[in-house]
Structure 1
Amino acid sequence: MSRKGVGGGGRAGAMRRVFVYEYLSGGGRLDDDPQAAAELMPMGVAMRDAMVLDMLCAPDCAVTVATCAEAGTNPPGAACTSARPGETPADFVGRQARQHDAVWLVAPETGGLLGRLAAVVEPARWLGCTPAAIAVASSKRATVEQLHARGVATPLGWRDDPAVRRWVVKPDDGTGAIDSRVHLERSAAERDLAARPAGSGWLEPWVEGEALSVSMLCHDGSADLLSVNRQHIAVDAEGALHFRGVDVNVVPADDARRPALAALALQVAQALPGLRGFVGIDVVWHVPRGPVLIEVNPRVTSAYVGLSASLGRNIAAELLDGCAGEAGHG
């Protein structure tokens, strides 16, 4: 395993200073959606702690983690820091980036937040996807349209299929299952879409099948499939979608579905340039068509929690060394 310094300033064997920032547990706010913030904070803390633990176990790493009072207990072993009074998340991240060799960051794509935070970090220090890839993945419409046009199986393949029995309306720019609704009739879905602010929603056929996610490490158009995870998605009596958690690494390497899922992961990495580091894709396994891409998460997802232990490999160390050899935002 290489111990090359990140950011161009390291030397072989030098201590690498890594700043870990998860938006909510690092003091960020979702002022326009307190319900979403309350729902996402526990997942944010879990992701933060898993990321910090793995980085602390990587060779020659000193870790600083962003914290806030609302996040509760701080992860042990890392130096903790908080934003200054009145400091914006972008200013906080930019200040910390200048003091560290690498920045590993998780934030919602909503409202362009993740992209703005990526933009304040020097490319060679950024352990994530390029701003251009983040911009595409931040829009559900842009993601499925671009990937569908490049031959990836998406719900757009069902647009004119008379066998479709349900449709889903979701925020084009949104996190998780929040504010997404399933309808039994297309006309009802179209009314739902029309009732939302212009351009804010996205309607697509509901693909029947098992809800999965694929965790992968991406570098320069390649995709190393790490795990296939089972998502627990509930639809209530009103049609509202609810995310109930994820079971990590539940599809073993010898499962007959793995080759098709690995092929889909590679297709996505090649069809959406700039995917870099840890990336999650949401997939439905449709019988008989196989895996269908629903959306791309250009960042760490909740499936990261427990993944290194499950695989017996330190994903953070691999990500750090892999990104050290790349040009960053280029």
Structure 2
Amino acid sequence: MKMTKRVFVYEYLSGGGWSDYGDDTAADELLPLGLSMRDAMVADLLRVRDCSVSAATCVPVNTLPAGVMPLRPLAGESAFAFVARQSALHDLVWLVAPETDGLLSRFQRTVGDARWLGCSAEAIELTAGKHATLAHLAAHGVPTPLAFEHAPEVQRWVVKPDDGAGGVATHVHTSRAAAVEEQTRRAQAGAAVTLEPWIEGEALSLSLLCVAQNAEMLSVNRQRIAIDAQGRLSFEGVTVDALGRDDPRWRALAALAAQVVRAIPGLHGFAGIDLVWHPQRGPVAIEVNPRVTCAYVGLSAALGRNLAAELVASRLHGDAEDGELARAHA
């Protein structure tokens, strides 16, 4: 008889983190995205056989799909204490949080490898820093904006949080001098920011499923990005599975994804790569997201597969193999 696996879904902002995120504007901007990801993850898990689903919620974010056990922090309980307590009561933890201030990596270490359904702590910590990620990828032969730093055709420059999420606090400038001025001002105010050449072209993202030593590029998504008259960038959503496998760019994008996975071997579960397709140079990696991204929403339906079921099955299969290996060597 199969034992029911208990899975705890925790999305940081909707699970109570919005109240202590430290940036009300960012929290307001990111909360709807967080909710959409949480609900998509939960919806897929509800269709997994022999799986019970719990999810974090809080006031005023207190709605969940039917069939999910709502879990709330105790009065005065920190996000990390709450996750640690629930982790001990569940078999698997599927968690989404910003990389900002080391949040995601700290949650990973709080949960531990045995229950964590996602990327390794090392991969999370590397990809949390945008500049460090680009330098690491460039050293492994992946095209990045760093290759454009001295290119005469670069007309715009972007300043953004080095460990931020979404398009929060990201500004595009028409001269490097103006970008340097903003970077200096924000750094003097204590903000960790990075400056990069703005890569012209089509904003895309890749959704990856990394399981059982295999990384599959699930989809190529189109990102909707707007820049206002003051240069403020905003993320307006994503069109999931926008490029079909017959698109002439698919092979080059799959090759880029494979390069990234080889460069960051700790990518496990669902992960995303943001990139720009440059008209002349092809795909240029912008950042790596070691977690569920907005492109997860609707992706299972678009592909006709239950990605959550595949993640859980792969993890349980891996655990079974580890157990067999341990018994064989006992």
Q: Same fold (TM over 0.5)?
A: yes
Aligned AA (1:246): V
Q: Which runs of 5+ in 2 are unaligned?
A: 320-330
Residue 26 in structure 1 maps to residue 15 in structure 2: yes
The 5 Å alignment of 1:64-143 reads 64-143=54-133
SS at match of 1:39: helix
Q: Determine the structure 1 residue equivalent to 2:36.
A: 46
Residue 17 in structure 1 maps to residue 6 in structure 2: yes
Q: Deviations over 1:222-272 (max 9, x none)?
A: 421111111111111011110011111111111111111111111111101
Q: Which runs of 5+ in 1 are unaligned?
A: 1-11
User: Which of structures 1 and 2 has the larger relative contact order (alpha carbons within 8 angstroms, sep 6+)?
Assistant: 1
1:171–1:179 contact (8 Å) kept in structure 2: yes
Q: Determine the structure 2 residue equivalent to 1:239.
A: 231
1:221–1:269 contact (8 Å) kept in structure 2: no
Question: Cα RMSD over matched residues?
Answer: 1.4
Separation in structure 1 between the aligned mates of residue 318 and residue 233 of structure 2, nearest angstrom: 38
Shift of 1:196: 1.2
SS at match of 1:313: coil
1:41–1:71 contact (8 Å) kept in structure 2: no
The 5 Å alignment of 1:1-330 reads 13-29=2-18, 30-197=20-187, 200-219=192-211, 222-326=214-318
Separation in structure 2 between the aligned mates of residue 324 and residue 136 of structure 1, nearest angstrom: 26
Shift of 1:325: 4.3
Separation in structure 1 between the aligned mates of residue 200 and residue 311 of structure 2, nearest angstrom: 34
SS at match of 2:86: helix
Report the number of matched residues: 316
SS at match of 2:243: coil
Give identity over the alignment, percent: 55
Aligned AA (1:169): V
Separation in structure 1 between the aligned mates of residue 318 and residue 162 of structure 2, nearest angstrom: 31
Aligned AA (1:28): G
Shift of 1:220: 6.2
Shift of 1:71: 1.7
1:65–1:78 contact (8 Å) kept in structure 2: yes
Aligned AA (1:21): Y
Q: Deviations over 1:154-208 (max 9, x none)?
A: 1011111111111111111111111111111111111111111257111111100
Separation in structure 2 between the aligned mates of residue 31 and residue 102 of structure 1, nearest angstrom: 25
Q: Taking structure 2 as the reference length, what is the TM-score of the superposition? A: 0.93
